[in-house]
């Protein structure tokens, strides 16, 4: 069934109502939340708004859960820039289209299909209400929605639903009215009359990617909170196998974070969590920092290649578990060479002989250890993937640690700038730390009693181990974590500048800066791409001259 909308009747009616009662606004939308990204694509007829939305859909479908629709016109006269006589709607993810609008004659008003409106509203609205959409595409918002018809209800639902990103094409002639009528505050505008489609696409992609920055910072802060708080406690009480326990907990948290982000940003979360380890009040921090990042990287690699699904999560968890054990073995091999594995084998044989049983070989023990790590990793991955981990994440996110040193980053940054002589002296103190002394002494006793070495070979290995450990401490002391993060931010666009303050806030260190508040203008921006804050709550706000527009880069 088609319903006719006269060309100017609704606009005239709206003007009369606003003169009598002030601007009309849907009761559901008082102001759009600051943590929601709203991208408005505007431009004249045939400027490419729909094509841009379709391209964004294709580029975000793998890592974002998307919903919405686009409106495609037929028989459009591109040369003259005339609107199409008919429009059909295509739901995201479906190849079929639905009839939407038609103009019987060039001078007549459009007629709209009410059955299509109901079907699209129900399909997209269900995704918005149950929270299974990250991005909602709407094409387009204009005169019909300003009259409270068309997809006005769906647009309001998108602006208040759990969906964090809304990308909508807006008719340019109704731009100011849409901003005022739907209570839009802080929207990003792309005017295709001012920029090319390629520039608009790149800018929209950049904004969408940046919208995750604060969530990634919050999740990284939770990971850092666990490492600084729980990790330091386990270290202080000398709990055995604490490194493996923390790695398993990191695995569970990464799965929980990945569920919320659909697999996005896991490398950034691991990197920032590793940086936050600098605030640990107990034990060395540089080696755990490297472990945290490498473990997170190994977990994220299969997900990056295969997408977010149970298979890639299990694969990443297994690789992460294996890496934890492999790194420990690798450090022993680099420090003491093959002799340390000979000592392990001899110790296993001696213990089996003492029990009076036929013991396994070293290779069998290693295979069993890797198999056990894989089994535990698979179990945790499945439980975290299908279980509800959000209560745990919320509880951890609501806590702030009082542990650690506020000068953690400052100390590490100063260490990288101090002279090599001062670094060398500091590394000597690292060799005297109880944690290093105990671990090194255990390895030395294994070599002494089980490796079958001569006295000179034994002394050579001890000197080698001390020299390699010392050089490792010197190298780690020279790493400037802040500069490394800044370099990655400049060259990879990781968004650490926005994520790190939020992560530090989770540790109770540096509060996240408040969002910038800007002045208003409800006219399409003179600059084609700018984040604009609107506070239009009165019809007089619409009279602000275009030159007074304020922007947030």
For residue 272, pLDDT beyond 50? yes
- Name which residue leads in pLDDT, 289 or 543: 289
Tell me the H-state helices in 262-285. Answer: 266-276
CA distances from 245 to 123, 321, 376 (A): 44, 10, 11
Question: How buried is 179 (Cβ within 10 angstroms: 0-12 exposed, 13-18 middle, 19+ buried)?
Answer: buried
pLDDT value of residue 17: 45
User: What's the burial of 79, exposed, middle or buried (CB within 10 Å: 0-12/13-18/19+)?
Assistant: exposed
Task: Answer yes or no: is pLDDT of 325 > 50.
Answer: yes
Q: Residue 275: which of 296, 254, 258, 256 has the closest Cα?
A: 296
Task: For 59-96, write each residue's pLDDT tens digit.
Answer: 999 889 999 999 887 655 545 556 677 888 999 988 88
Cα(103)–Cα(2) distance, integer angstroms: 11
Say what the pLDDT of residue 545 is: 31
Taking the mean position of all CA atoms in its chain, how far away is CA 214? Answer: 8
Inform me whether the pLDDT recorded for 135 exceeds 90: yes
Comparing 231 with 133, the larger pLDDT belongs to 133
Where does the pLDDT of residue 247 fall: very low under 50, low under 70, confident under 90, or very high at 90 and above?
confident
* Helices and strands (H and E) in the chain: how many: 22, 11
Q: CA 395, 163, 485: angle at the middle one, nearest 5?
A: 65
Average pLDDT over residues 42-53: 89
Residues with Cβ within 8 Å of residue 186, at least 6 apart in sequence: 32, 34, 38, 515, 518, 531, 532, 533, 534, 552
At residue 408, the pLDDT reads 47
> How much is the average pLDDT of 184-213?
89
Q: Check residue 495 and give its pLDDT.
A: 64
Q: So what's the pLDDT on residue 194?
A: 92
Q: What Rg, from alpha-carbon coordinates, does the chain have?
A: 30
Structure tokens at 121: 């509203």
Model confidence at 371: pLDDT above 70 = yes
Q: Looking at the DSSP assignment, which residues form a beta bridge with residue 191?
A: 42
Give 429-484 pLDDT, tens digit per residue: 878 877 778 878 888 888 888 888 888 888 988 898 888 888 877 876 776 656 66
CA 126 to each of CA 43, 54, 262: distance values in angstroms, whole numbers, following the listed order: 30, 21, 19
19-23, 136-140, 183-187, 417-421: which has the minimum mean pLDDT? 19-23
pLDDT category of residue 310 using cuts at 50, 70 and 90 = very high
532 DSSP β-pair partners? 187, 551
Q: Two tokens at 197?
A: 């489609």
- Please answer whether residues 530 and 188 qualify as being in contact, where contact means their C-beta atoms are separated by less than 8 angstroms: yes
Q: What is the pLDDT of residue 523?
A: 46
Note the pLDDT of residue 384. Answer: 93
Q: Which domains does the chain have, with CATH numbers?
A: 2-211+515-552 (3.40.50.300), 213-406+481-506 (no CATH)
Residue 502: pLDDT band with limits 50, 70, 90: confident
Q: How many Å apart are CA 87 and CA 68, to the nearest integer? A: 16
């Amino acid at each position: 069934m088609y319903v006719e909308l006269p060309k100017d009747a609704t606009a005239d009616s709206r003007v009369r109502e606003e003169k009598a009662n002030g601007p009309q606004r849907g009761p559901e939308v008082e102001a759009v939340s600051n943590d929601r990204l709203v991208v408005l694509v505007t431009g004249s007829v045939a400027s490419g708004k729909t094509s841009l939305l379709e391209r964004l859909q294709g580029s975000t479908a793998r890592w974002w859960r998307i919903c919405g629709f686009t409106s495609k016109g037929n028989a459009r006269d591109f040369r003259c820039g005339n609107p199409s006589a008919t429009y059909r709607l295509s739901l995201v993810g479906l190849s079929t289209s639905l009839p939407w609008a038609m103009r019987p004659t060039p001078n007549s008003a459009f007629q709209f299909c009410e059955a299509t409106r109901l079907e699209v509203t129900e399909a997209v609205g269900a995704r918005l209400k149950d929270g299974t959409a990250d991005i909602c595409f709407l094409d387009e918002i204009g005169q019909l929605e300003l009259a409270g018809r068309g997809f006005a209800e769906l647009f309001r639902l998108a602006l208040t639903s759990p969906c964090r990103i809304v990308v909508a094409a807006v008719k340019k002639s109704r731009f100011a009215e849409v901003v005022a009528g739907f209570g839009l505050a802080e929207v990003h505008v792309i005017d295709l009359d001012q920029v090319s489609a390629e520039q608009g696409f790149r800018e929209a992609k950049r904004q969408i990617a940046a919208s995750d920055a604060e969530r990634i910072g919050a999740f990284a802060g939770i990971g850092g909170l666990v490492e600084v708080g729980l990790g330091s406690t386990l270290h202080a009480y000398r709990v055995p196998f604490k490194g493996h326990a923390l790695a398993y907990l990191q695995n569970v948290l990464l799965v929980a974070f990945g569920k919320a982000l659909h697999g996005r940003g896991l490398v950034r979360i691991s990197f920032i969590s590793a940086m936050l380890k600098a605030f640990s009040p107990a034990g060395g921090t540089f080696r755990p920092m490297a472990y945290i990042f490498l473990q997170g990287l190994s977990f994220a690699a299969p997900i990056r290649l295969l997408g977010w699904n149970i298979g890639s999560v299990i694969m990443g968890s297994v690789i992460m578990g294996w890496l934890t054990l492999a790194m420990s073995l690798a450090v022993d091999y680099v420090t003491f060479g093959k002799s340390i594995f000979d000592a392990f084998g001899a110790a296993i044989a001696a213990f089996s002989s003492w029990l009076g049983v036929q013991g396994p070989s070293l290779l069998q023990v290693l295979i069993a250890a890797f198999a056990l790590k894989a089994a535990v990793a698979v179990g945790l991955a499945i439980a975290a993937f299908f279980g509800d981990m959000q209560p745990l994440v919320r509880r951890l996110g609501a806590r702030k640690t009082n542990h650690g040193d506020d000068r953690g980053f400052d100390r590490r940054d100063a260490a990288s700038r101090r002279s090599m002589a001062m670094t060398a002296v500091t590394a000597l103190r690292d060799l005297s730390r109880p944690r290093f002394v105990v671990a090194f002494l255990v390895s030395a006793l294994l070599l002494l009693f089980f490796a079958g070495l001569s006295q000179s070979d034994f002394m050579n290995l001890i000197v080698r181990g001390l020299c390699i450990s010392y050089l490792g401490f010197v190298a780690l002391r020279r790493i400037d974590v802040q500069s490394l993060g800044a370099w990655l931010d400049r060259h990879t666009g990781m968004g650490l500048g926005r994520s790190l303050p939020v992560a530090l806030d989770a540790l109770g260190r540096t509060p996240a800066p408040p969002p910038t508040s800007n002045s208003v203008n409800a006219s399409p921006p003179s600059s084609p791409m700018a984040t604009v804050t609107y506070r239009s709550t009165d019809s007089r706000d619409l009279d602000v001259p275009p030159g007074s527009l304020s922007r947030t880069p």
